[in-house]
Every structure is written in structure tokens, then in C-alpha cells.
Amino acid sequence: MRHAAVLVIVCAMLPAGTHAQPASREPASSELPRTVAQASPDAPRALRVVLLLPLDSAMLRRAATTVRDGASAVFATRKAEVNVSECSYGTEGTNAVAAAYARCVDASVDWVIGPLGRSDVTALALAKLPMLRPTLMLSPLGTAPPQPLAVLAPDLESEAEAIAQQATEDACRKPLLAEASGALAGRVGVAISGYWRERVATPLQQTSLGSRDSWRRAAEGWRKDNVDCVLFAGGGAVLSELRPYLRGMVIYATSASYEAPLDRTLDWTGVRIADAPWVVDSERAEFAAFTPAEPLSPTLARLYALGVDAARLTLSAGRSELPSSFDGAIGQLTLKDAQYRRQPMIGEFRERALVKVGP
């Protein structure tokens, strides 16, 4: 995605190499014009970035603020190179995001980061706007976006595939997919079963979790059937209640299961999870400069990491193309059809700690 460099307004700067002269000496008439002419082409031009986020939405304000904070932490380390402005919108109508884009984006903008919500991403992709600038949208679109739009999103499907792959690498002999109720659990379950069907010869037993009073009996049946690992699709509250019945079985989960702080995961020791490197390997040196002032919940930490990656990608691209591969805070990223596919990291819970699995 190439786009031409555009002129931006910059602060007036003293010409490079210009020094104050004694009052008694008048500069030659040709000196000053020549100095200015030589300095102008070298004057730095800040990259202009617009953060298009639902900061006026009661439902998405917290998420949008966290994404903004992550991006701002990165841009703060490159203040001389980037000029960032916020473009807030709410959810007052179906055209809110398109109207905000039209209001805030002109030909001088180099990058737009946002929108954030799935419906807003779809609305922007379908909008007939007079001007589009290179834009990094932050939710899945489901199809290749029109140019010059691109997608960066921490999807659950990539995590589901990652835990299925990890289970095969761990030589799981008799796997079971245990699916709780709910839309997120359904998405994880479909992705796991699809991966297993296409890439693994070993059959995958599947079950839907019923009422809690049936879990003990169900787990005893799984144990008699020699189930040695459980691929779990569901939320953290369900996993915490199910965990005591699964002693001796390795459990694999996605970030959809990890919502509570680490101090509430003592009983999760041995559970393996696919998640963002920012969450699993938070002590990485490259993240140190962007660490938030206050600790964040796992859910907000992922949003913060999304903002960090969006900012890092636009800075890496500059006025040229997005990088085709990138070691991101939300995962290893690969650009294909203007959408970043990601490979999340695998971690394991150990006594109120989450540690990276493998090298």
C-alpha cells in the first residue's frame, strides 16, 4: 500500500548551521538566502496520524481509551517524528464513523488508526467517502478490505488454532473438545474442530458442557475413556469451576478464558493458553518503553497491546508500505490480502504466574 508523501504544517526552525553574528558584521546579501534554500529540503516533516476511536461511546469508551493509551505510549517515544490527533465518534447512528472520518481526514493525513468496533469497521469499509487515506482498522472484517484500508485484529480464531496445534505437539493421545455455552465459546469451538478436521488424523471427541451438577459424572466418564487433554472453549468462570474435575488432564484454552487477575488463577496450574505476547511474556525488553503506569486486567492489556502494535506498524510503514511481517505485542503478524494474520504465544499458568512455553 504505497502512498505519496504529503506536506504537513511544521514549526519554523532555524536553518541548520546558522550561527549568531556580531552586530558590527552585516552578512553578505547572498549568504542568508542560500542557507535557507539549502535547509528547507532537509526540514523534518512529521508523520500525521489520526486516531479514529469511539471515545464518545458509552459502551466502547473504556476499550477505546485503552487502545488510545497504548498507541500514545509508542508515539510519545517519537514526538519529533509524528503529529497525532484524535477523532472521536459515538454510536448515535449507523453513519457516525463515516461522518467522523470525513470530518477529520484530509489529504494531509498519512495514517488513520481505527475504527475499533466490528460494526464500525464494516460501516467504514462500505462507506462511499470522497477521500480515503491509508487506514489500519482494529477489528476483523471477514473479507479483504478495499484499498487503502487494512486490518489488524486480535482474533479468537487464531488462538483456537494455536492451542489445537500445541495439543498435537504435546502428543495428546485422546483429546476432548469441551464447549460451554455462548457466542465466544462457539467461535472457539468451531475454529478448533475445523483445524483438527483439516490437519490432524487423530479423531477429536466433542461435548457440550451441561449443567454444573453433571460435570463430576462427565469427567469420570472422560477419565475412564482415557481422555488425557481437554481443549476448552468458554469463559474463565466456567473453567475455574470445571478445573477441579479435570485433575490429571492437560487443559488448553484461549484468551476468552483468561479475564481475571493472576491472583485468582492459583488452581489453574498446568493450564496452557494461547494469548498475546504482551500478556504471556510481559517482561520482554522491547515492551519496557511502553508499559502503562497502572496494571491492567488481561482484557484491557490486550487492547493496550493492540494500540501499541497499531502505532508501531504505522511508524514502521511511514509513508510507504506496511511491513509484510512484524513481531507484535499481540502476536507474530503476517500481512496477506491487506489483513494481518497473527500467531499468538503459548503460555502456561504456574502458581499465580503465566510463563511462556518453548523458546
Which of these three, 256, 275, 294, is where a domain ends? 275
Q: Terminus-to-terminus CA distance in the chain, angstroms?
A: 33
This prediction's pTM:
0.85
Contact 168, 23 (CB under 8 A): no
- Whether residue 30 lies inside any domain: the answer is no
pLDDT digits (tens, 9 = 90+) for 43-87: 568 999 999 999 999 999 999 999 999 999 999 999 999 999 999
DSSP state of 336: E
Residue with cell 459424572: 217
The candidate with the shortest Cα–Cα distance to 80, out of 3, 10, 7, 4, is 10
- Whether residue 227 lies inside any domain: the answer is yes
Report pLDDT for 17.
Answer: 39
Q: Are residues 258 and 296 in the same domain?
A: no
| CATH value at residue 141 | 3.40.50.2300
- Whether residue 133 lies inside any domain: the answer is yes
Which of these three, 251, 275, 299, is where a domain ends? 275
**Residue 205: strand, helix, or coil:** strand
Where residue 245 falls among pLDDT bands split at 50, 70, 90?
very high
Contact 343, 331 (CB under 8 A): yes
| Mean pLDDT (whole number) for 239-248 | 91
Q: Are residues 242 and 337 in the same domain?
A: no
pLDDT digits (tens, 9 = 90+) for 175-230: 999 999 999 999 999 999 999 999 988 889 999 998 899 999 999 999 999 999 99
Q: Are residues 105 and 215 in the same domain?
A: no
Q: Are residues 315 and 246 in the same domain?
A: no
Structural domain including 243 reads 156-275
250-269 burial, b at 16+ Cβ within 10 Å, e below that, comes to bbbbbbbbbebeeeebeebe
Q: Are residues 203 and 306 in the same domain?
A: no
Q: Are residues 165 and 266 in the same domain?
A: yes
Express as a percent the part of the chain with pLDDT over 70: 87
Q: What grid cell was written down for 45?
A: 516533516
Q: Are residues 302 and 339 in the same domain?
A: yes
Q: Are residues 180 and 250 in the same domain?
A: yes
Report pLDDT for 18.
Answer: 39
The candidate with the shortest Cα–Cα distance to 46, out of 82, 72, 75, is 82
pLDDT digits (tens, 9 = 90+) for 284-332: 889 999 999 899 999 999 999 999 999 999 999 999 999 999 999 999 9
- Whether residue 192 lies inside any domain: the answer is yes
Going by their DSSP bridges, the two strands 111-113 and 135-137 should be labelled as parallel
Q: Are residues 160 and 270 in the same domain?
A: yes
**Residue 350: strand, helix, or coil:** coil
- Whether residue 329 lies inside any domain: the answer is yes
Residue with cell 509508542: 74
- Whether residue 145 lies inside any domain: the answer is yes
Give the integer Cα–Cα distance in Å for 115 and 12.
Answer: 33
Length of the chain: 359
Which of these three, 227, 242, 275, is where a domain ends? 275
Mean pLDDT in the chain? 87
Report pLDDT for 42.
Answer: 54
- Whether residue 299 lies inside any domain: the answer is yes
**Cis peptide bond prior to 148, omega within 30° of 0:** yes
Report pLDDT for 43.
Answer: 52
Torsion angle in degrees (nearest 10) through CA of 207, 241, 238, 222 = -10
Maximum separation of any 2 CA atoms in the chain, in Å: 100
pLDDT digits (tens, 9 = 90+) for 143-177: 999 999 999 998 999 999 999 999 999 989 999 99
- Whether residue 226 lies inside any domain: the answer is yes
**What DSSP string runs through 275-323?**
E-HHHHSTT-GGGGGG--SS---HHHHHHHHHHHHHHHHHHHHTTSPPP
Q: Count up the domains in the chain and report the number.
A: 2
Q: Are residues 147 and 162 in the same domain?
A: no
Q: Are residues 239 and 203 in the same domain?
A: yes
Q: Are residues 239 and 292 in the same domain?
A: no
Contact 232, 239 (CB under 8 A): yes
Give the integer Cα–Cα distance in Å for 129 and 101.
Answer: 8
Give the integer Cα–Cα distance in Å for 220 and 87.
Answer: 55
Q: What grid cell was written down for 15?
A: 536553518
DSSP state of 143: S
Report pLDDT for 333.
Answer: 98
| Mean pLDDT (whole number) for 24-43 | 40
DSSP state of 38: H
